[in-house]
Amino acid sequence: MQKILAYVLWGVAIVLVIITIAPLMANAEGCDSTTNSNCIETNSNTSSTVDSNLTSTTTVKSPPPSAISPSINSANSDLCTVGVSGAVQTQILGISAGATTRDMNCERLKNAKVLYDMGMKVAAVSVMCQDIRIFKSMMSAGTPCPYDGLVGNAAKEGWKNNPHLIPDAKTGKKEEWDDDTKSTATGASAIGGLLLALLLLI
């Protein structure tokens, strides 16, 4: 009887051990919620994709450098010239230029003074008479400008007989330009052409 009771106790102990160890072995092998209702299976998958495209454009607008007119100094010289300069600046191109222009009235005054200082008074007056204003004022004063070495009334008659020789006389014919006028016209045409080209480029 005691042996039967001992076998029963051993059997109960073995069953308890099996009942205790079986879930642990199932968890060790893996949990399948489809076959085991006591198993809680948790699956968590996180997928993250980040696409970043950055396009940057920077535009810098600054004023163009300035075209500076050249400095032409003729004040301390004994030359009868006048300095002329100018500059044009655009977003594309800048141009500056300068030149000197002869002052014909200044040259006339200097030549007349030199001739007068040399004792050539008639020649000095003849140089001054190349200006139409002086020519008319001399006629109005009754002392006409010298004509071909003649003075006084003889010079007056000579001017009356040859009016085409009077300074700035209008003879009806197209007068030719002198070298100074031609150079001035050429420079003005060149500057005008450059300005027109710059305006077309803008």
Q: Find out whether 103 and 83 touch, Cβ atoms under 8 Å.
A: no
pLDDT tens digits for 49-91? Answer: 777 787 888 887 766 677 676 676 666 567 788 777 777 777 7
pLDDT-derived band at 164, boundaries 50, 70, 90: confident
CA distance 188 to 84: 11
* Least confident piece of the model among 1-5, 120-124, 162-166: 1-5
Q: What is the mean pLDDT of residues 129-150?
A: 90
Task: Indicate whether 107 pLDDT > 80.
Answer: yes
CA distance 120 to 134: 18
pLDDT tens digits for 83-94? Answer: 777 777 777 777
pLDDT tens digits for 37-46? Answer: 555 656 667 7
Give Dmax over CA atoms of the chain in angstroms. 188
